[in-house]
Amino acid sequence: MSGNLLDRMKMQAPELSKGQRAIASYICENCEKAAYMTAAKLGQTVGVSESTVVRFAMEIGFDGYPQMQREIQSMLKSRLNSVQRVELADSRLNDGDILNNVMSLDIDMIRRTMEETSREEFLASVELICSAKKVFIIGTRSAASLASFLGYYLSLALNNVVVVDPSNESAMFGQMLQLDKNDAVIGISFPRYSRRVVGAMRFACDNGAKIIALTDSESSPLKPYADHLLLARSDMASFVDSLAAPMSLVNSLIVAIALRKKDELKSNLVKLEKLWDDNNVYEKSGE
């Protein structure tokens, strides 16, 4: 799907039935509420049948209502500021068992990611990372934790990993200055998307590097620069981004690469274990 969804709804309104126009009008005026309504609830709110809502989604170019709902949610996440996220979460999650609501949301994000992630893109990404001269990883704000985690574990199996520091734009590009077509760049960003990460992807693309984008949707601004797109579902738990599914996908990448590079990994871990023992890095249980 291309173009802004709300704009497309408005443009197609004259071609829609009366009931479908009512649905489009409600979504455009109440995007925050509509994004998390079931088809039945949306129909009830607007005064049309559930089947009319499903036909509306297909009429404007989606395979069905769930795909349209995901597009609305993705668009919404990019538009809301942190204060608006808190207000939305209060109406969505502050009802009943918070622990159950938030964990159920994470479980659903992981399940959808597992079902929707392209195995071809995943395996191609693993191959690219294993064969690259250098691997640059960049993520800002909440995604910085994913970048750091991925970089730490990849560096146990690979000797060519650079976690780019995005805190200073000049330093960031300085770290990436020498990258070329033999290098791989992993960019990580989720709504609200980081302009700095997008800028780094553009720079990497201009310099011929191969790019893996770890993000949440086909409409992500990282996609135009990506040779391989890894999609992990993310949602909002209050002002907090739910990164359970992205972290699970990161774990999968690490395990797949570790299995490909198991000899190098074992060799590095033998050396590290000796260093850790010599320097009493870990508390020894039972002592």
DSSP sequence for 221-269: TTGGG-SEEEE---EEETTEEE-HHHHHHHHHHHHHHHHHTHHHHHHHH
CA–CA dist 123, 79 (Å, integer)? 33
Half-sphere exposure (Cβ direction) of 179: Cα atoms closer than 13 Å = 31
* Whether pLDDT at 124 is above 50: yes
Q: Tokens 């590009």 — which residue?
A: 173
* Whether pLDDT at 82 is above 60: no
pLDDT, one tens digit per residue, over 128-170 is 999 999 999 999 888 999 999 999 999 999 999 999 988 888 8
Q: Residue 209 in contact with residue 181, Cβ under 8 Å?
A: yes
Q: Which domains does the chain have, with CATH numbers?
A: 5-79 (1.10.10.10), 115-277 (3.40.50.10490)
Show the DSSP H helices in 64-142 as ranges: 65-79, 82-93, 98-116, 119-131
Q: Which residue has the higher pLDDT, 93 or 196?
A: 196
pLDDT of residue 80: 58
* Lateral strand order in the sheet of 210-215: 161-163, 135-139, 184-188, 210-215, 228-231
pLDDT of residue 218: 82
CA–CA dist 75, 111 (Å, integer)? 21
Report angle CA 121, 204, 262 to the nearest 5 degrees. Answer: 50
Return the minimum-mean-pLDDT range out of 128-132, 133-137, 183-187, 240-244.
Answer: 240-244
Q: Residue 221 in contact with residue 173, Cβ under 8 Å?
A: no
Which whole number is the average pLDDT over 58-70?
84
pLDDT of residue 163: 94
* Whether pLDDT at 186 is above 70: yes
Categorize the per-residue pLDDT at 90 as very low, low, confident or very high, splitting at 50, 70 and 90.
low
pLDDT of residue 3: 45
* Whether pLDDT at 237 is above 50: no
Q: Is the torsion defined by CA of 235, 240, 246, 251 positive or negative?
A: negative
Categorize the per-residue pLDDT at 236 as very low, low, confident or very high, splitting at 50, 70 and 90.
low
Q: Residue 34 in contact with residue 26, Cβ under 8 Å?
A: yes
Q: Which residue has the higher pLDDT, 141 or 222?
A: 222
pLDDT > 70: percent of the chain? 87
